[in-house]
């Protein structure tokens, strides 16, 4: 149905046996790529034992059963992070977008505490077709990027931080109430969902 897109398995809460069954079923039923998100190494090992086409993108915690080449686009999705700790979520977004057939660029660790690093990267921001901003703590990066560009922004709050970060709630609220207009927000740590939204936009 969802032409060109991989089939997707959300790994948490499934036993290795269940995942094995689902993948075997997909392998039998179709010929496209398969993406298992939020996959720990044992999930990868399980899938690898069924098919040699399995690849593990460790930092993204994503397994791809790559049965056909990824497509790509002329336009690119830019994935931006505030800090180092936001990278796993950003990689989930980047790998998902790539598997969905998009060109992806990365701009990591440009948080507003050292704003000059961000200001030195305005061109790569403005040449993107759509931008995914990944940030925890107060999530201010989404507002600042929104103030620097007119491109559509998909914002991903992360659960990074402690105390009043409240597992990502502060970043989530900050992004929802951003003074920069035109920011669509997804669930905390939801790199996958951000990539889905960005991919739909990038391919328009």
- Site for Mg ion, rule CB under 5 A: 83-84, 109
On whether the CB atoms of residues 182 and 188 are closer than 8 A, the answer is no
- Candidates 47, 87, 192, 198: give the one binding ligand AMP (CB under 6 A): 192
Of 75-94, binders to its own copies (CB under 8 A) are 82-85
- Give yes or no for residue 70 binding its own copies (CB under 8 A): no
CB of residue 186 vs ligand AMP: minimum separation in angstroms?
A: 9
CA 47 to CA 51: how far, in whole Å? Answer: 6
Q: 64: Cβ–Cβ under 8 A, 6 or more apart, which residues?
A: 6, 33, 34, 35, 36, 54, 55, 57, 95, 99
**Binding at 9: pick from its own copies, Mg ion, ligand AMP, none (beta carbon under 5-8 Å per type):** ligand AMP
Cβ contact 59:34 at 8 Å? no
**Contact range with ligand AMP by CB under 6 A, out of 24-32, 64-72, 142-150, 186-194:** 186-194
CA dihedral 43, 66, 71, 146 (to 10 degrees): 10
User: Which spans of this chain sit near ligand AMP (rule: CB under 6 A)?
Assistant: 8-10, 37-38, 83-84, 181, 190, 192-193
């Amino acid at each position: 149905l969802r032409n060109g897109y991989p089939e997707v398995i959300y790994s948490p809460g499934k036993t290795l046996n269940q995942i094995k069954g689902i993948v075997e079923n997909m392998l039998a039923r179709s010929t496209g790529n398969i993406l298992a998100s939020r996959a720990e190494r044992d999930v990868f090992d399980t899938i690898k034992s069924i098919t040699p086409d399995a690849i593990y993108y460790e930092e993204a915690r994503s397994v791809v059963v790559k049965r056909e080449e990824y497509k790509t686009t002329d336009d690119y999705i830019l994935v931006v992070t505030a800090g180092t700790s936001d990278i796993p979520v950003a990689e989930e977004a980047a790998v998902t977008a790539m598997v969905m057939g998009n060109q992806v660029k990365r701009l990591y660790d440009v948080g507003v505490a050292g704003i000059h690093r961000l200001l030195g990267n305005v061109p790569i921001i403005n040449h993107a077709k759509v931008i995914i901003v990944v940030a925890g703590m107060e999530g201010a990066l989404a507002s600042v990027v929104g103030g620097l560009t007119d491109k559509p922004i998909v914002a991903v709050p992360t659960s990074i931080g402690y105390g009043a970060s409240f597992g990502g709630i502060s970043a989530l609220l900050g992004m929802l109430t951003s003074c920069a207009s035109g920011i669509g927000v997804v669930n905390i740590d939801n790199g996958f969902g951000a990539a889905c939204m960005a991919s739909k936009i990038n391919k328009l």
